[in-house]
Amino acid sequence: MFSNQFQQAKSAESLNSIYARIQSIDRRIDSLQGKSLSVNSTPITKDGGLEFSQVLGQIRDNLPPRANQWIVEDAIKQASLKTGVDLDLIKAVVQVESGGNSNAVSGAGAKGLMQLIDSTANSLGVNNPFDPHENALGGANYLKQQLKNFGGNLQFALAAYNAGPQAVVKYNGIPPYNETTDYVKKVSAVYQSLKNSA
């Protein structure tokens, strides 16, 4: 029994490693900005045939549940390391926003782990909002912006994340919207719970 669980865990870990490596290759190709590479005299371009984002999506969709969980956990960890935003805060936002589902789409069209709307995703340089690493990094950067905008006030920053910074400025605090007040309470509660269990 233990041997089978160990083998499954190792297989999932290998798949996660492959996924991460393909992401790294994809970022390198993106950095070429349309330039061609030549491998064995065969030109390879970003748009020349197979889209890496499609391959990544197929790999992610076919991973065992545990491997997907590891990908989400790694995306959150990397976002925290790169932005300096508290790991538990990002976890709390992800839990409330999407429940950790990188393919989540809200009725308003918000997408991915941290539920980014297209205009916000574009402004943050997120090309594929369903990519857990891109989405978590974009969402963490947006959260960091709101914390800075509101002098580190977590309640205001969370309200701005949900309702937009203009609404927080307009009401000089948390806007009197049921959705926003509930959102701030939920994220704050999850965040405190994560802090207490650490």
Residues assigned a catalytic role: 97
Displacement of CA 15 from its chain's centroid (Å): 19
CA atoms of 197 and 124, how far apart (whole Å):
32
Alpha helices of the chain — where are they, by DSSP H? 2-31, 52-61, 65-83, 87-98, 118-123, 132-149, 154-163, 165-171, 178-197
> Could you tell me the sign of the dihedral formed by the alpha carbons of 140, 145, 151, 155, in that order?
negative
